[in-house]
């Protein structure tokens, strides 16, 4: 049924793609752009429209002297659905695995993909690190953990050689219905701790947003056994436990064991097969990436919540027990301010030295973010606002064995400052600093 396509006389001939990114739209694209009802939003649209090259721009309101197709507000998203079905039909059997949770989504999605690949099944992961095929082949970079409704359907439609999609599903995506029209064959919830309160307001709202993933599957939620008691008291629907013990030669971080148990349970359910466990696996880029120099180690990790900082510091302390622990971290701008001092408390609990620096300050002053981090703190910490300087100061030769944790950015390759993403990579800076020691 193309009721709205017909209503607005949309001719699809020559138009082959849909997008919500007006800046990158091509002449063959239909671009959707929802304009908010204020002067600043209208002016921003004008600027982007002038730069764009879309064949057709569809908006929810009229803007003087701009040639767009204006549709009724109530039709805006419904028209997207009609056009998605027309341009990106899924005419093959596709298996979807959905993973939500505060931390660990990327690792579980990556592990699911590798498990399926090792068992002869075609799979890719979609999430924070991008659209990944094989060990680390990046097919497409993404601007959000979960792509938009349009982008997700386009990815699945165009990857015709892939039958299993292992998808990170964020709370934002669930609130914004980016996975509507999707049916997941298995769903998992890694854990639940504080994050994104700038968006959700309360922990209850944040939890309820994640719980919406159950609306898109007939499967019970799979939960790591270590999380069962906490979730049973909160969730009103059935849980499925990960019931097997996992052993590995190098998979000895406790939260990795949880992630691996969850990944196998999700893959077993989605494939309806008992999959081979004796396979070689790795973690995604920016997750406990370890570099060595002499008797010291340097760890790059995406940890950017209080719980994730506790996990990475505690596990580092457990496995490098005689080492001094140095933790370098910052907090993102324009995000949940209440977690900033909690991040410092988490780092101080397991570290011998803590270094506070910048991490995507966005539209905030990095110094003001650091002041928030230090609120109520009475411990001695080192403050180096410039992240590159912080890394190069502490990636060095030590007299005693030392483990230096560089937390927060992981795989990211930018610093977001005043709306501009400047190239920056913790991994590259660690390698550069280590190279200077040779």
CATH of the domain at 176: 3.40.1190.10
Answer yes or no: is 280 within a domain.
Answer: no
Alpha-carbon distance of 425 to 64, in angstroms, equals 43
Alpha-carbon distance of 254 to 56, in angstroms, equals 51
Pick the closest to residue 251 from 114, 405, 406 (CA basis).
114
Residues 253 and 316: beta-carbon distance below 8 Å: no
Together in a domain, 123 and 248:
yes
Residues 15 and 5: beta-carbon distance below 8 Å: no
Strand residue runs (E) in 84-234: 95-100, 123-127, 130-133, 137-140, 164-168, 186-189, 221-223
How high is the pLDDT of residue 252?
54
Query: Where does a domain end: 70, 87, 104?
Result: 87
Give the residue ranges of DSSP H helices in 119-242.
149-158, 171-175, 197-200, 203-211, 228-232
Together in a domain, 340 and 356:
yes
Answer yes or no: is 278 within a domain.
Answer: no
Tokens of 92: 């093959």
Together in a domain, 332 and 218:
no
How high is the pLDDT of residue 227?
83
How high is the pLDDT of residue 197?
76
How high is the pLDDT of residue 237?
62
Residues in the chain with pLDDT values less than 70: 1, 236-255, 438
> Can you give the residue range of the structural domain that contains 100?
95-271
Alpha-carbon distance of 187 to 220, in angstroms, equals 7
Pick the closest to residue 132 from 170, 165, 94 (CA basis).
165
How high is the pLDDT of residue 58?
95
How high is the pLDDT of residue 240?
65
Q: Tens digit of pLDDT for each residue in 247-301?
A: 444 445 566 788 999 999 999 999 988 888 888 888 889 999 999 999 999 999 9
Together in a domain, 75 and 100:
no
Instruction: Report residue 161: phi and psi, to 5°.
Output: -90, 0
Number of domains in the chain: 3
**What's CA 337's distance to the chain center, in Å?**
19
Query: Where does a domain end: 87, 105, 132?
Result: 87
Alpha-carbon distance of 289 to 277, in angstroms, equals 23
- Provide the mean pLDDT of the chain: 91
């Amino acid at each position: 049924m193309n009721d709205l396509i017909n209503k607005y006389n949309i001719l699809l001939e020559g138009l082959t793609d849909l997008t919500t990114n007006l800046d990158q739209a091509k002449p063959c694209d239909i671009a959707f752009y929802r304009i908010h009802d204020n002067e600043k939003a209208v002016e921003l649209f004008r600027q982007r429209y002038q730069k764009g090259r879309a064949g057709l721009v569809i908006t929810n309101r009229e803007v003087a002297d701009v040639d767009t197709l204006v549709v009724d507000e109530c039709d805006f998203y419904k028209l997207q659905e009609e056009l998605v079905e027309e341009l990106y039909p899924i005419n093959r059997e596709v298996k979807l695995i959905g993973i939500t949770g505060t931390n660990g989504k990327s690792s579980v999605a990556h592990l699911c993909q590798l498990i399926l690949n090792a068992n002869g099944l075609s799979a890719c992961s979609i999430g924070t690190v991008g659209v990944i095929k094989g060990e680390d082949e990046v097919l497409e970079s993404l601007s959000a953990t979960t792509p938009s409704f349009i982008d997700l359907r386009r990815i699945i439609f165009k990857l015709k050689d892939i039958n299993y999609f292992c998808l990170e599903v964020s709370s934002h995506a669930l609130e914004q219905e980016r996975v509507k029209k999707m049916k997941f064959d298995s769903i998992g919830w890694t854990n639940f701790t504080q994050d994104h309160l700038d968006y959700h307001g309360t922990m209850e709202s944040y939890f309820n947003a994640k719980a919406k993933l159950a609306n898109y599957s007939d499967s019970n939620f799979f939960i790591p056994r270590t999380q069962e008691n906490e979730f049973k008291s909160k969730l009103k629907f059935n849980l499925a436990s990960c019931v097997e013990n996992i052993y590995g030669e190098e998979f000895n971080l406790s939260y990795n064991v949880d992630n691996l148990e969850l990944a196998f349970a999700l893959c077993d359910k989605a494939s309806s097969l008992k999959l081979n466990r004796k396979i070689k696996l790795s973690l995604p880029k920016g997750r406990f990436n370890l570099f060595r120099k002499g008797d010291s180690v340097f760890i790059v990790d995406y940890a950017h919540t209080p719980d994730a900082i506790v996990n990475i510091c505690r596990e580092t302390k457990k496995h490098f027990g005689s080492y001094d622990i140095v933790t370098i971290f910052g907090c993102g701008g324009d995000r949940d301010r209440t977690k900033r001092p909690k991040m410092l408390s988490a780092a101080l609990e397991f570290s011998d030295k803590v270094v506070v620096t910048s991490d995507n300050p966005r539209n905030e002053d990095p110094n003001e973010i650091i002041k928030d981090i230090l609120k109520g703190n009475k411990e001695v910490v080192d403050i180096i606002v410039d992240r590159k300087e912080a890394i190069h100061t502490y990636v060095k030769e030590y007299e005693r064995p030392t483990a230096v944790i560089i937390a927060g950015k992981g795989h990211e390759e930018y610093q977001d400052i005043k709306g501009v993403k400047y190239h920056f990579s913790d991994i590259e800076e660690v390698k550069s600093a280590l190279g200077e020691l040779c």
